[in-house]
């Protein structure tokens, strides 16, 4: 049986938390929630895939740059929330 790797699980959890908070703060309709989740996941995945790192000695559990992933997810969430969806 296969399992989810720790990096994948952490990315899913970060995306879910960011999307839920963004929907509470910026969302207007329920149909925006899946769009916000997908956007947050893409932001987290981009930060992880591109290996974005600040020149700080921050911990990165499972190789995931948490701060960079959250910041990129929020940047994309703000852009998407301004679109007419």
Whether 7 is in a domain gets the answer no
Number of domains observed in the structure of the chain:
1
Whether 10 is in a domain gets the answer no
Q: Give the span between the Cα atoms of 35 and 18, in whole angstroms.
A: 12
Whether 2 is in a domain gets the answer no
Whether 37 is in a domain gets the answer yes
pLDDT of residue 66: 94
Retrieve residue 77's tokens.
Answer: 């969430």
Whether 42 is in a domain gets the answer yes
Let me know: does 77 contact 17? Beta carbons within 8 Å: no
pLDDT of residue 2: 65
pLDDT of residue 20: 96
Domain of 74 in residue numbering reads as 18-82
Give pTM, 2 decimals: 0.89
Whether 48 is in a domain gets the answer yes
Whether 8 is in a domain gets the answer no
């Amino acid at each position: 049986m296969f399992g989810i790797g720790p990096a994948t699980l952490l990315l899913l959890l970060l995306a879910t938390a960011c999307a839920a908070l963004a929907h509470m703060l910026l969302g207007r309709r329920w149909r925006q929630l899946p769009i916000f989740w997908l956007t947050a996941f893409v932001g987290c995945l981009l930060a992880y895939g591109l290996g974005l790192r600040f020149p700080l000695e921050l911990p990165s559990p499972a190789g995931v740059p948490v701060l960079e992933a959250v910041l990129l997810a929020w940047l994309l969430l703000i852009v998407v929330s301004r679109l007419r969806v």
